[in-house]
């Protein structure tokens, strides 16, 4: 059975059983990195779930995380699938927070190199700005384009929105 001192002293590469929680192992790699893993079987399939680094999580914390995963397994719920579903839900929620201007700016930033002609780049931004500024077309445009852009982009950082938000001065003819 592992103790806190044994965890600290574990240097030899291999896997060390916890003893108190079924399937909880301390994994020591060839480089000396130590991490917690949980081995379990669900529906006849063996799975390994990482629980974190041994330097970040104590033996007590690793046992608690393993117990939580085991509770899910008792209900026939795969903890790895739940983890992935939560990550996908968070990504979707982040994408829904994007405004049209942010989505368009991110799309432009990611595809800017495709437009070799400076005039084409400016025309693309101008067309987005013009469409966005028209209040009657704004809702329809926003709905259709936002679906397209949000599907393509990941929410990240605070892009420079000045190109899309600032209206162009009216040209006198």
Confidence at 143, pLDDT banded by 50, 70, 90: low
pLDDT score, position 156:
40
Q: Is the pTM of this model over 0.75?
A: no
Phi, psi of 47 (to 5 degrees): -135, 150
Q: Tell me which range, 16-25, 81-90, 104-113, 116-125, is most confidently predicted by mean pLDDT.
A: 16-25
Domain ranges of the chain: 4-91, 97-165
Give residue-wise pLDDT tens across range 129-141. Answer: 776 666 445 555 5
Cα separation, 85 vs 78, in Å, equals 11
Return the HEC string of the chain.
CCCHHHHHHCCCCEEEECCCCCCEEEEECCCCCEEEEEEEEECCEEEEEEEEECCCCCHHHHHHHHHHHHHHHHCCCCHHHHHHHHHHHHHHHHHHCCCHHHHHHHHHHHHHHHCCCHHHHHHHHHHHHHHHHCHHHHHHHHHHHHHHHHHHCCCCCCCCCHHHHCCCCCCCC
Which pLDDT value is given to residue 44?
87
User: How confident is the model over 3-42, as pLDDT tens digits?
Assistant: 888 888 888 899 988 888 889 999 999 998 999 999 999 8
Quickly name the fold that domain 4-91 has. Double Stranded RNA Binding Domain (3.30.160)
pLDDT tens, 33-75? 999 999 999 888 898 999 989 889 998 999 999 999 999 988 8
Per the prediction, the chain carries an average pLDDT of 77
Q: How far is the C-alpha of 142 from the C-alpha of 123, rounded, in Å? A: 18
């Amino acid at each position: 059975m592992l103790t806190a001192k044994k965890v600290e002293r574990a240097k030899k590469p291999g896997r060390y059983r916890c003893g108190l929680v079924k399937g909880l192992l301390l994994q020591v790699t060839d480089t000396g990195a130590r991490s917690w893993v949980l081995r379990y079987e669900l529906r006849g399939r063996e799975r390994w779930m990482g629980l974190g680094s041994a330097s970040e999580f104590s033996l007590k914390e690793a046992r608690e995380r393993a117990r939580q995963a085991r509770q899910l397994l008792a209900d026939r719920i795969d903890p790895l699938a739940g983890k992935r579903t939560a990550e996908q839900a968070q990504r979707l929620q982040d994408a829904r927070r994007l405004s049209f201007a942010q989505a368009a700016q991110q799309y432009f930033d990611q595809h800017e190199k495709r437009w070799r002609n400076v005039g084409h780049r400016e025309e693309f931004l101008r067309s987005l700005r013009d469409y966005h500024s028209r209040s009657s077309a704004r809702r329809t445009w926003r709905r259709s384009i936002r679906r397209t852009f949000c599907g393509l982009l990941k929410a990240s950082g605070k892009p420079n929105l000045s190109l899309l938000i600032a209206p162009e001065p009216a040209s006198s003819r």
